[in-house]
Chain A
Amino acid sequence: MGFLDNLFGKPSANHAKNRLQLVLIHDRVNLNSATIELLKDDIINAISKHIDIDPSSVRIEIEQQGRSQKLVADIPIRPHSGKKQ
């Protein structure tokens, strides 16, 4: 929240809610963002051995359903180039 936000009284409750959302996920599953990055690298490596994927478009996120959370991986596959591997 910058100086201008303060000056014009931009509401702080949204910040609180967004920050808490992240804090609670990590408290509940005992996972931090560094671990998720490591996991992401491992997943990319494992999948790349078999399938052609673009590492930069892979998303690994913790999604919430009520009070439980699940790990969701979104891994787009590169279109078939026609060439034989």
Chain B
Amino acid sequence: MAANVLTVTSGKGGVGKTTTVANIAVALANDGKKVVCIDGDIGLRNLDVILGLENRIVYDIVDVVEGRCRIRQAMIRDKRFPELFLIPAAQTRDKNAVSPSDMIRLCDELRAEFDWIIIDSPAGIERGFKNSIAPADIIVIVTNPEMSAVRDADRVVGLIEAEEKKPPYLILNRIKQNMVQRGDMLSVADVYDLLRVEVIGIVPEDENTIIAANKGVPLAIEGKSRSGVAYRNIAKRLCGEQVPFMKLDVDTLWDKLMQIGKGN
């Protein structure tokens, strides 16, 4: 087995990287893949709470890098899946405690045992970002259909090109289709036009995201929520499956009236 190293990054903070990592990870694990997530956001760890694993942290990534424990000891097994693990970030250290070559070494040590190594990058374009993309085979950029998020995403694409990585993919998160339909939010096509990065996922605004975070149970684990389905589709696409994008259109008031008129 030789894992793919997938890094999720964005430039701008708060666009949904950690949510994306957690959801793709559980979706892949659900499909029987062996997955380990690495929280690359040293000093501001969050992936542990989004996955509901915060109470089980003993060692973290800096402990591994500085030789205080073996890599296995820092891996928390997610009890919901036989083969999903988290390597948490250190909370009391800064990003310089880990270097890009540390990250490459760490991933190389894990590659043989996993199908997917997923790295949650911090915001920004500094050390933490560089650490996160150094070992990446596949890079996914998360953005929102909004001025500053798109601009920052473009900066990150430029930096990835400069690193001579493979072209990244794009996930467009928090789309409010009613706003798109009335022309007040950039559409997927608009953002693609601007960034020219292949879109691998389209995730609607979904208030269940907050409920899922409250519970520590990513939406992609369970059935119905729209964003949960969107993340499961992304996981399938990452595995090479062709999955059509889901329809986001919301019915207009007129559509609703027509439906009432037709008696449904």
- A binding-site residues for B, Cβ under 8 Å: 9, 11-14, 16-17, 19-21, 23-24, 27-28, 66-67
Contact = CB atoms under 8 A, between A and B. Distances in A.
A24 to B, nearest CB: 5
5 contacts: A13-B183, A17-B194, A21-B194, A67-B161, A67-B195
Contacts of A23: 151
A67 B160 CA distance: 13
Interface in B149-184: 150-151, 154-155, 157-158, 161, 180, 182-184
**6 smallest A-B Cβ distances: which pairs?**
A11-B183, A67-B196, A66-B196, A17-B190, A13-B183, A24-B154
A16 B148 CA distance: 10
A9 to B, nearest CB: 7
Interface of B: 146-147, 150-151, 154-155, 157-158, 161, 180, 182-187, 190, 193-197
A20 B150 contact: yes
Nearest to B157: A67
A20 B196 contact: no
A77 B151 CA distance: 38
B57 to A, nearest CB: 39
Contacts of A28: 154, 158
Contacts of B190: 13, 16-17
A19 B147 contact: yes
B184 A12 contact: yes
